[in-house]
């Protein structure tokens, strides 16, 4: 009889322990899901985690940025990179010549397409964002990293947005950047290789320096403009519909959906 009662006590204790362990385990899972924004396994340093989808399936990973190349349009549909505060530099490096990207299997368009075209060789990942090393700077002069831009746009509103991006990188100690032209059918082209001239350019920034994600997305018409930058803020969803690209697909769906439908820029200091 004593053995029977001992057995009952041990059995009850076992199930109580299992139930508590499961409850604690579930609580830990809930906390992990809730705090996955700051998890060491999901940080801005995990560059691949934040990459968009590629509609062309030609992703090229350079040391200091990654791109998805569109052979049809002879330029990248997006260029993605992290810009940290300690990478900001004012060194005046000598500009190299533009060269073809050796990693683009289909071959990137020659810089000669831009000659006497009336368009600048507009950087997507700006050379000014990669002045912290000679190699990083030189990588931005691959022709896979340029798109035809009117000078009034390239040196105007687009340059203003690039400068603001560097301001935010300093303020928030790093932002993740995805940028490119909106590549669609029947665009005007230049050069012998028919390099497409986008009608719009976009830039999307992500920050999680304060333990939670925030994003801001810009869709800028390819023209001169004196409008304030915040007038170009749009939901990421709008850019996705125009490009067919899924931005930040690795984020949990609830977080991705919340971020991508918002055009709120109050969390960004203008």
CA distance 260 to 250: 13
Enumerate helices (H) and strands (E) in the chain, giving the number of each: 6, 10
- Beta-strand relationship, 175-181 and 146-149: unpaired
Question: How far out from the chain centre does Cα 251 lie?
Answer: 13
Kind plus residue range of the DSSP H or E element containing 33: helix 2-34
Cβ–Cβ < 8 Å for 68, 76: yes
Relative orientation angle of helices 236-243 and 253-260, to the nearest 10 degrees: 90
Write out the E strands in the chain. Answer: 59-61, 66-70, 75-83, 120-123, 146-149, 175-181, 189-190, 195-196, 200-207, 214-221
Say how many Å lie between the first and final Cα of the chain, rounded: 78
Indicate if 123 belongs to the active site: yes
3-state secondary structure of 25: helix
Active-site choice (57, 62, 90, 123): 123
Q: Catalytic amino acids?
A: 123
């Amino acid at each position: 009889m004593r053995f029977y009662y001992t057995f009952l006590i041990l059995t009850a204790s076992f199930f109580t322990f299992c139930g508590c362990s499961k409850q604690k385990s579930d609580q830990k899972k809930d906390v992990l899901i809730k705090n996955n924004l700051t998890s060491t396994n999901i940080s801005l340093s995990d560059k691949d985690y934040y990459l968009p989808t590629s509609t062309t399936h030609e992703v090229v990973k350079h040391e200091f940025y990654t791109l998805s190349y569109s052979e049809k349009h002879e330029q990248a549909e997006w260029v993605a990179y992290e810009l940290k505060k300690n990478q900001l530099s004012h060194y005046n490096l000598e500009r190299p010549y533009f060269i073809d990207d050796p990693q683009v299997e289909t071959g990137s368009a020659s810089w000669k397409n831009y000659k006497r075209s009336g368009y600048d060789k507009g950087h997507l990942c700006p050379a000014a964002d990669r002045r912290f090393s000679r190699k990083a700077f030189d990588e931005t002069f691959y022709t896979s990293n340029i798109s035809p831009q009117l000078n009034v746009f390239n040196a105007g509103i687009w340059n203003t947005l690039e400068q603001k991006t560097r301001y935010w990188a300093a303020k928030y100690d790093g932002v993740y950047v995805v940028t490119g032209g909106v590549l669609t059918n029947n665009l005007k082209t230049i050069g012998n290789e028919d390099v497409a001239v986008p009608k719009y350019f976009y830039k999307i920034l992500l920050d999680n320096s304060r333990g939670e994600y925030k994003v801001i997305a810009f869709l800028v018409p390819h023209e001169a403009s004196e409008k304030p930058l915040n007038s170009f803020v749009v939901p990421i969803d709008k850019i996705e519909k125009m490009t067919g690209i899924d931005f930040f697909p690795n984020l949990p769906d609830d977080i991705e959906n919340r971020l991508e439908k918002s055009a709120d820029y109050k969390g960004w200091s203008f």
